[in-house]
Amino acid sequence: MSNNPYYKQHWIDIEPERHEAYDQILAFHPAMEPLLKPLELAPGLRVLDVGSGPGHTAMELARRVAPSGKVTGVDINADFVERSNRRAREAGVPAEFVRSGFPPLNFPDRSFDRVFCKNVLEYVDSAADTVAEMARVAGAGAVVVATDSDWDMMALETGAGTADLNERVLGAAKSIALKEPKIGRRLYGLFREAGLTDVKVEVMAAADTLGRSTPMLKASFARYARDSGRVMEQEVAQWLANINRAIERGTFLLVLPQFIVRGVKR
């Protein structure tokens, strides 16, 4: 039996169905280009991907620094690391993945030209310590980018009379699965406190009206809500039914702002 809090343990233990869902949810898509742009990637750069997950984004970064550069991915989940290493070998891209929890980051000071972290910092014991570590391992002049949602700014609209249930289910899920639900809005201050300079913030907030984000709601949030024990199974089932009905009627809307914060190490 582990003593880890749920927000950490649910990443250490990922069952096969959830791996399949993450391959879909965390696939690289051209719409993610604004998240990578501030990294100013070029061949030859050494990049660290902090919390690399299934590795799809890290592979995309590796293609952009190939052939002379390299991406190192680090993640707490052993299967993610093994699968990512296999994929990188098969695709012949310069990426290597290591298993480790953080903070701290087990790399020497100033060992990377770019440090990237996407949708990870809400799950760590200390987002402040992790950002400080990202700044420590960045070399002089290196660009550091963190990009994350702000879960307390999520707008989910599924029709008249459904708002209370949305709040209950999402609240239950967030209460156990996210250490820091407001991470998006906190990134700017954390970058400043870590001594990064020239810190810039952008926010991307596309409206999903087609239900593209439902794999994330179903695979992650419905499961978190059930595991929280704060809502009944029937409530989660009703929540999912409300979402499906809104999509069928063409009235579904979800907006989840994604903050993109970049700073420079001096």
> Nearer Cβ to ligand SAM, position 91 or 241?
91
Is there a contact between 102 and 130 (Cβ–Cβ < 8 Å)?
yes
Maximum CA extent, the chain: 57
The token pair at 52 is 């690399």
* CA separation for the pair 25, 165 (Å, rounded): 24
Where helices occur in the chain by DSSP H, the ranges are 6-12, 16-25, 33-36, 56-65, 78-91, 127-137, 163-177, 183-193, 214-216, 223-228, 233-249
Shortest spacing between CB 34 and ligand SAM, in angstroms: 14
Shortest spacing between CB 24 and ligand SAM, in angstroms: 11
118 interacts with ligand SAM by CB under 6 A: yes
> Nearer Cβ to ligand SAM, position 13 or 248?
13
Instruction: Figure out which of the listed residues 60, 75, 133, 148 binds ligand SAM, where binding follows CB under 6 A.
Output: 75
Instruction: Figure out which of the listed residues 39, 65, 71, 76 binds ligand SAM, where binding follows CB under 6 A.
Output: 76
120 interacts with ligand SAM by CB under 6 A: yes
Instruction: Figure out which of the listed residues 46, 47, 48, 51 binds ligand SAM, where binding follows CB under 6 A.
Output: 51
Name the residue type at position 76.
Answer: I
**Distance (Å) of CA 145 to CA 34, 71, 216, 259:** 11, 14, 23, 10
The region of 37-45, 119-127, 221-229, 245-253 touching ligand SAM under the rule CB under 6 A is 119-127
252 interacts with ligand SAM by CB under 6 A: no
221 interacts with ligand SAM by CB under 6 A: no
List CB contacts of 86: < 8 A, sequence separation 6 or more: none
* CA separation for the pair 159, 180 (Å, rounded): 28
Rg (CA), the chain: 19
97 interacts with ligand SAM by CB under 6 A: no
Torsion of CA 242, 223, 152, 34, to 10 degrees: -100
> Nearer Cβ to ligand SAM, position 216 or 231?
216
In the shown chain, the binding pattern of residues 10 to 49 toward ligand SAM, with x for contact by CB under 6 A and - for none, equals: -x--------------x-----------------------
The region of 70-78, 204-212, 247-255, 258-266 touching ligand SAM under the rule CB under 6 A is 70-78
Shortest spacing between CB 163 and ligand SAM, in angstroms: 26
Burial 152-180 (b: 16+ CB within 10 A, else e): ebbebbbeeebeebbebbbebbbebbbbb
In the shown chain, the binding pattern of residues 123 to 162 toward ligand SAM, with x for contact by CB under 6 A and - for none, equals: xx--------------------------------------
If we measure between CA atoms, which residue out of 127, 62, 112 comes closest to residue 89? Answer: 62
Positions that interact with ligand SAM (CB under 6 A):
8, 11, 26, 51-53, 56-57, 75-77, 80, 101-102, 118-120, 123-124
